[in-house]
A and B are shown apart, each in its own frame.
Chain A
Amino acid sequence: MPPSRFNNHTKLGVGIGLRVPHYAHILEKKPTVEWFEIISENFLCDGGRPREVLDQILEQYTVVMHGVSLYFGSPEKPQRDHLKRLKELVRITRTPWLSDHLCWGSVDGTYSHDLLPMPYTLAAAKATARKIRYVRDFLEIPIAVENVSSYAEYTASSMTEWDFLNEVVERADCGILLDVNNIYVSSKNHSFDPSHYINAVNPERVTQIHIAGHSTHERFIIDTHDRAPIDPVWQVYAQAISRVGHTPTLLEWDAKIPSFQEVYREAHKATRWLDRATKSRRGRVAA
């Protein structure tokens, strides 16, 4: 997606998730990385080593904030302390946008710490969009919502996941963090064709793309982020890029994390499709 209000008029390429096992390598070697994605909740503390590391990273790199506990699909407002700390982190990192998930995870003040699936109904879409707007107005930063992997579907759902996503982002007027691995995982668990999903998403709202690895079990597959993405997931990515154009892309690797070089190499496989998208756009503009 070209620079727009959803990505704060920035243009980023391939990013790497900032993870603890890589801290020493990054701080010592200062590898060339276009941007790092941080998990916001890991830096909401008052000080100490986490913030020291972040300060050093910020001296060298662009950082984008990605959260795991705003739970846009839980109707109650986020805790004030949570929002205040996020806002302070937004100020410190100067993140161009902030992303979190299209899911729920808390009810009546009790937190599951999991990304629980939404029922796909109009009322749920309206409630979710309302919360996204509330968070965006508080944080004063563009928001992108990420589609999650899911393992269950509700009897109450009255629309497809992609229709629900479109409904939410149109009503909230926010961006999309399109996770192509999550699309693949859910497509296997719920028996749909991932290309239907990709073709349905509004390309103008896709702010960022996630790609990751998953684990295959006999009767379901699980989003584990503990290995490299498989070829079919890269194919979904290729299809997404050909539809939405050059878009900031991040490889998530959160468990059994290999060396920084290996994550870097794997992430930069995305360059092939990103370059193609850039050339194709240049071609269209020249014509």
Chain B
Amino acid sequence: MKRKSPAIKSTRALKDLQKTFFALISRPLKPGHRMIPSPLSERIIAPSAKLSPHERLELYAQQYWWRLTDSLREDFPKLQTYLGEKRFDALLVRYLKRNPSCSYSLRHLGLRMPQFILKDRALPLAKRNGASQIAKIELAQQAAFDGASLKPLRIEDLSAKPERLRVTLQPYVQILPLSSSADSLFEDAQEIPFRTAASNVRKQAKAASPKRSAPRSLRRGARTIAIYRQHRRIYVCRLTPVEVVLAGALREGGNLTQIVSKTAQVFQKPLSPDEIRETFGRFAFRGWIGIDSRKSE
């Protein structure tokens, strides 16, 4: 017997209908991009002259999965190479089942990927740490691409009362401690394309990916890297121990005297004036030192 269609006479009834619709379209697709059938489809969706309720809803289910997986593929190209296409595609479905989008922006969709990978038992244990770190680097590249920036410090800024000048690490500079050679998969300088623009355009099923080179294996070993933008490119570089400490001191902010003394204090080894000058010079050349005008006098 056909069940009665729901009446939408209140906001609550509207939300219930939307929950049912969303539950139907967000179940992972079957092979061949097919939606799992449900008797609820006929209850909430009317047939058209040419399509059944199930077929009509299926268009939305396909769209849901194609749009979200496309977005994650775009965010994590190196992770895809490292894991291989089949394993990566399966990871995306598991990830989205546990981590549906909670934000108005697709840019935030992959933020929980590094943590998810570490706990994902379907991935081989030997791959998890490296894959998680690759995902972290790819997220950091996005943050470096469109993160906020402050006015960069210039030599002339130092000429008048430098003790009143509050400086800080540019917000877009991302510092990442790693426990593997995950950074070796990334070029030193890379042109990062704009994300596929948000739009209401409908997505197509994923086309077969071009053959990629076999993933490199990663070596263990602690290191800290920086990811930053300069001249429309994204750079990935390893930091020396002094640079790590200086970056940390700069992130906390202060005037130059405070930052130098904090660096020397944390580094726990004597630092020569030349060493400090050179490190500062490198940071300034890369545009990493920003003037915090709200706190500068």
Q: Is B146 an interface residue (CB 8 A)?
A: yes
Within 8 A of B (CB), among A51-86: 51, 68-70, 74-75, 78-79, 82
* A220–B50 CB distance below 8 A: yes
B105 with A222: CB separation less than 8 A: no
Indicate with 1 or 0, residue by residue over A163-198, a CB within 8 angstroms of chain B CB atoms. Answer: 000000000000000000000000001110000000
* Residues of chain B contacted by A79 (CB below 8 angstroms): 103-104
Whether a CB of chain B sits under 8 angstroms from the CB of A230 is no
Among B59, B67, B194, B201, point to the contact of A151 (Cβ < 8 A).
B59
Whether B102 lies near A114 (C-beta < 8 A) is: no
Interface string of B26-46 (1 = CB under 8 A from A): 100000000000000001111
Complex contact A20–B8 (CB within 8 A)? no
Which residue of chain B has its CB nearest to the CB of A156? B8
A79 to B102, CA, bound (A): 10
A87 neighbours in B (Cβ, 8 Å): none
* Residues of the A chain whose Cβ atoms lie less than 8 Å from the Cβ of B8: 119, 121, 123-124, 154, 156
Contact B104–A155 (Cβ < 8 Å): no
Interface residue stretch chosen among B15-23, B243-251, B264-272: B15-23
CB-CB under 8 A from A78, the residues of chain B are: 104
Chain A: interface residue total (CB-CB under 8 A): 61
Q: Knowing A112-B25, A123-B13, say if A19 contacts B146 (CB, 8 Å).
A: no
CA distance A46 to B107 in the complex (A): 12
Q: How far is it, in angstroms, between the C-alpha of A48 and the C-alpha of B5 when the chains are bound?
A: 50
- Inter-chain contacts of B21 with A (CB < 8 A): 116
A33 at the interface (CB under 8 A from B): no
Q: Is B92 interfacial (CB-CB < 8 Å)?
A: no
Residues of B within 8 A of A115 (CB): 200
- CB of A153 within 8 A of CB of B67, answer no
For residue B101, which residues in chain A have a CB less than 8 angstroms away from its CB?
A: 110-113
- Give chain A interface residues in 12-54, CB to chain B under 8 Å: 19-20, 39, 41-42, 44-51
Contact A69 B45 (CB under 8 A): no
> Do A113 and B68 touch (CB < 8 A)?
yes
Establish whether residues A48 and B9, one from each chain, have CB atoms under 8 Å apart when the complex forms.
no
Contact with A254, one of B64, B148, B201 (Cβ below 8 angstroms): B201
Within 181-211 of B, Cβ neighbours of A (below 8 Å) are at 194-195, 197-202
How near does chain A come to B41, taking the closest CB pair, in angstroms? Answer: 9
Interface residues on B, range: 35 or more
- Are A151 and B60 in contact, with the CB atoms below 8 A? yes
In the docked arrangement, what's the CA distance between A101 and B102, Å?
Answer: 19
Task: Find the A residue at minimum CB distance from B107.
Answer: A45
A46 touches B148 (CB 8 A): yes
Which residues on B sit within 8 Å (CB–CB) of A82?
A: 104-105
Q: Which residues of A in the span 143-157 have a Cβ within 8 Å of any Cβ on B?
A: 148, 151-157
Interface: B56 (CB within 8 A): yes
Q: What separation, in Å, do the CA atoms of A116 and B232 have in the docked complex?
A: 37
- Cross-chain contact of B172 among A47, A220, A222 (Cβ < 8 A): A47
| A92 interface residue per 8 A CB criterion | no
Q: Are B197 and A20 in contact (CB under 8 A)?
A: yes
Asked if residues B15 and A107 are in contact (CB atoms below 8 Å), the reply is: yes
The reply to whether A119 and B104 contact each other, CB–CB distance below 8 Å, is no
In the bound complex, what is the Cα–Cα distance between A110 and B23 (angstroms)? 11
Interchain CA distance A245-B132 in the complex, whole Å: 57
**Could you say which residues of chain B place their CB within 8 Å of the CB of A119?**
8, 14, 17
Within 8 Å of chain B (Cβ to Cβ): is A287?
A: no
Q: B45 CB to closest chain A CB, in angstroms?
A: 5
Q: List 8 A-B contacts (CB under 8 A).
A: A49-B194, A82-B105, A108-B19, A110-B102, A111-B101, A113-B67, A123-B14, A153-B56
Excluding A115-B200, A222-B59, 4 further A-B contacts by CB distance (< 8 Å) are A68-B199, A101-B200, A107-B18, A223-B200
Could you list which residues of chain A lie within 8 angstroms of chain B, going by C-beta atoms?
Answer: 19-20, 39, 41-42, 44-51, 68-70, 74-75, 78-79, 82, 101, 104, 106-116, 119, 121-124, 126-127, 148, 151-157, 189-191, 219-220, 222-226, 254-255
Which 6 residue pairs are nearest across A and B when measured between Cβ atoms? Answer: A155-B5, A48-B146, A46-B148, A45-B146, A254-B201, A41-B198
